[in-house]
Amino acid sequence: MSILPSTQQIIISIKNQKLYLIAQGTLIKKYTLSTSKNPPSCLENSYGTPLGIHSIEEKIGEGAPIGTVFKGRVSQGYTYQEASEEEQLLNLITTRIIRIKGLDPNLNLGDPYDTYNRFIYIHGTNHEERLGQPFSKGCIELSNQDCLELFSLVNLGDHIWIE
């Protein structure tokens, strides 16, 4: 497999619950995140955060208000603060979606290990108090402000290494 490096990269450390944005070998930003409460896994229905090299395939939510709730990658037209008490108990996808695609056919590309088909995202959360500890169902969750900032800094095709 031959993958040319992107101009900037993201490294996600499951162990440290951190996301590092690197451009031309220099650390630009560091964010606290939440990965899966299940062990890391690339397997469909494992609810584990996938490992290996990925790229940013889609950026969804440009211009939506911070805290906007997304379902099926579509804005619901309200923020998590406006959601019902019952819905606020759920782990919602908020603010922006950075959808990622696996690049390694031996690990995270192709069924039943396909990150893209598993709908794994980097996104905001309505449970920011849980950041810094594993809690998600496989996605990489950030604070809404950090998600908004990261969304503005990354480009389609940027590489992501999840370890």
Listed in order, strand segments (DSSP E) in 3-51 are 8-13, 18-23, 26-32
pLDDT class of 7 with cuts at 50, 70, 90 = confident
What integer best gives the mean pLDDT of the chain? 96
pLDDT tens per residue across span 8-60: 999 999 999 999 999 989 999 999 999 999 999 999 999 999 999 999 999 99
| Per-residue model confidence (pLDDT) at position 141 | 98
pLDDT for 78 beyond 90: yes
135, 141 Cβ separation under 8 angstroms: yes
Assessment of whether the complete model's pTM goes beyond 0.85: yes
Q: How buried is 119 (Cβ within 10 angstroms: 0-12 exposed, 13-18 middle, 19+ buried)?
A: middle
Architecture per CATH, domain 8-162, reads as: Beta Barrel (2.40)
